[in-house]
Amino acid sequence: MKFIKIVCALIALSVFLCSCSDKTVDSELVNEVMSAAEKTNDIKKYSASFILEVTDEVNGNIVLFAQGSFDADKTGPLKMSGSMVQTVNASPASLYMAYSDGKYYAKSGEISTFTEIDESVFIKQFLCSDAVVTRELDTVSKRNNGSGGNIYYFTSSSASLGDKLLPLVDAEVFYYAGMKKMRTETLETNGFSGEYVVDEKTGLLLSRKITYSESAYDTAPYYPNETVSDESMKHTLSVSLKVTYKKLDGSTDVILPDFASQR
């Protein structure tokens, strides 16, 4: 009996020590990140630049790269105009873009196109999306950059983030990575981390960068007398999106380019 009591005491002690070693997320820092993101998201007229990179995690190939700038006005029906250089599987293209009245316009060289996209869908994609943030953070830290800003680093494993992250980049990007027939129900995200720079004076975001992984399963081909494992059909992409704000004083005016306003 004495031996059993000793063992139980040791187990209880180890459990206590483990619980004491758990790090508690600083709620004050969480509030600071949330406040900066929400205040910035509340500004409806702004100018920003962006860099988007999507990489195949298996072979390291850059599947999609886009860099550019834009002006946005969300005071009424969404209006946006800008330009970017986009590279898909090492094939680059420069284009002008605009969004108004439920239509996305793009022009590259002499070719111009427009696609009908509902505003509720377009506004969640990477160009005009809000800063992604959640109170469900696993870690958060802060340091001053010495230039009037505080940098917040944070991570989260919250499953609820998928609703915000999945719409950022069209699932079509998986086909650029070689997928044949996606099983859309298998789409998921994980490994979310952020790096937000906040202006010390205004409390607004100067820039925001997020990284995360997005995965989905392809449909297995049929081979007689052979079973293809699910894991061999999994595609995983690493997504990095950085947005740097150039104007947040609400004075941005969106001027639609001729190729969009004339349609």
Options 2.60.120.260, 1.10.20.60, 2.50.20.20, 2.60.40.3080; CATH for 25-255 is 2.50.20.20
Q: What is the value of pTM for the model shown?
A: 0.87
- The C-alpha atoms of residue 247 and residue 45 are separated, in whole angstroms, by 9
248 by DSSP, 3-state: which?
coil
- The C-alpha atoms of residue 232 and residue 221 are separated, in whole angstroms, by 11
Chain-centroid distance of CA 10 in Å reads 45
- The C-alpha atoms of residue 74 and residue 92 are separated, in whole angstroms, by 30
Over residues 12-33, the pLDDT tens digits come to 444 444 443 346 899 999 999 9
Cα-flanking dihedrals φ and ψ of residue 78, to 5°?
-55, 135
Domain boundaries, the chain: 25-255
Over residues 59-73, the pLDDT tens digits come to 999 999 999 999 999
* Residue 52 and residue 169 in contact, taking contact as beta carbons nearer than 8 Å: yes
Residues 6+ apart with CB under 8 A from 193: 153, 154, 155, 156, 210, 211, 212
